[in-house]
Amino acid sequence: MNSTFLRALEPDDYLITHTWRLDEFTWDSVVGLKRFVSLETERKWVLNAIESHEAGKVLRFVICTNQNSDPAGLVTLSDIDLINRSAAVSYMVSPNFRGQGLASSALRKVIEYAFSELALVRVSCKILEDNLASQALVAKMGMVKEGVLRKAVFKSGEFRNLLCFSILKDEFAIDEAGS
């Protein structure tokens, strides 16, 4: 398993994130709509994501290996609600880095950040019902399945169910040694 570190998005990251849009498995396993975009549209998306991050609206972290700072994936905190102390987390890993434990390490770091630095008490996640790897990952983090949103997402010509998971601060073991 590679060690990971997180960093903010950089303007040139669009050159790599654009390649992820070309991977069928990636887009079939995430909730978002598959879109075919130009490099320029992807560049604008990254610049907008940086602006949202800096404003604290949606926090996107680039997953990197200790080998280099090139993007190996993204982990995102969205729906940040500082009154109700909650947020949603989502993630994706580059096809070149799947199965190496990067998502697990990055997800742990972002959940810890949400609880320790943002003082949140609840982090949730929605996963496509047929994405068994992600279900296993969030279960490993200690997330609890809360329910099913039936036929909530239209992908690949059909409606698919979303599973809802969450973890509360008092259920999460903060890694004092550092992840």
The three-state secondary structure class of 75 is strand
Distance (Å, rounded) from C-alpha 177 to C-alpha 44? 38
CATH of domain 4-171: 3.40.630.30
- Are 76 and 91 spatial neighbours (Cβ–Cβ below 8 Å)? yes
What pLDDT is stored for residue 179 in this prediction?
Answer: 45
Q: Locate 105 and state its tokens.
A: 């390490």
Q: Give average pLDDT by consecutive 10-residue segment, the chain, 179 residues.
A: 82 90 75 81 94 93 85 94 97 86 92 97 96 93 96 92 97 66
pTM > 0.75: yes or no: yes
